[in-house]
Copies of this chain bind each other. A is one copy, B any other.
Amino acid sequence: MTPMGTPVELMLAKLTRLGGLDQQDRAAIGSLRFRVQQVPAGKLLVRTGDVPSECCVLVEGYACRHKSTSSGGRQIVSFHLPGDILDVQHLQLERADHDVETITAATIAWVPASELRELLRTRPKINDALWRDALIDASIFREWVLNVGRRNAESRIAHMLCEFATRREAAGLGSPERFDLPMSQHQIADATGLTVVHVNRTLQALAASGVIERRGREIRIADWPRMREVADFDPAYLHQQAA
């Protein structure tokens, strides 16, 4: 079920999902110089203030981006799965405004930003696909603002689970009915603006009400219609239908 592959295959799959590529586009992606790296869980790939000269693609494993308040509060602003480009923003913005960190052991492919920038100029369809990718990212951030700003704990966590299940499936990583969460309850708390304690109780409440079943980090969404309702989840913001 894991759509393993080389960095090139993953990027092609992702960009193709985002819009049509022609033969020359594929060739251009194929000739990018990837530097592949194995990293452990909890590795900071980019940190706030960095001036990265490479972009990284997540090949295998999971990652997240996060920001912190000066008093130490941590907020995860997105989760990422295999195929995701972790920092398109550094193609155009000099300094990183957030951290990028693996949440499991992972395989990362680094590409020189200059080579990708060249593709934006010379390959209009790749430019379009990366635009779409960046704009979908932004759409997800907007939904997260709504999620942490206006939903209660149960909805927030349910929404996060729905999004994870849906994106996972779209990336070809398997069924949205049942899956293993890569992140700890602490990380769920940091993503939803709650505390670990309350995340724990809320997951129990979701299980008690029968919308999900849990065994360790394995989640089964037992009742999707009810889950969608509890989560207030409408996948439109993921813009998944190819444009």
Chain A positions near chain B (C-beta within 8 angstroms): 49, 65, 67-71, 73-75, 77, 88-89, 91-95, 97-98, 120-121, 124, 127-128, 131-132, 134-139, 141-146, 148-151, 155, 192-193, 232, 236-237, 239, 241, 243
Name the residue on B nearest A137 (C-beta): B138
Question: How many chain copies does the complex carry?
Answer: 2
Residue from A121, A136, A146, A232 having most chain B Cβ neighbours under 10 A = A146
Q: CA separation between A203 and B221, bound complex, in Å?
A: 43
Across-interface contacts of A137 in B (CB, < 8 A): 138
Interface of A is mostly: helix
* Contact, CB under 8 Å: A93 / B142: no
Across-interface contacts of A74 in B (CB, < 8 A): 150
Across-interface contacts of A93 in B (CB, < 8 A): 132, 135-136, 139, 239, 243
Q: CA separation between A124 and B49, bound complex, in Å?
A: 27
Residue contacts A-B, CB under 8 angstroms, 7 given: A73-B151, A89-B138, A91-B131, A92-B128, A93-B132, A93-B139, A141-B145
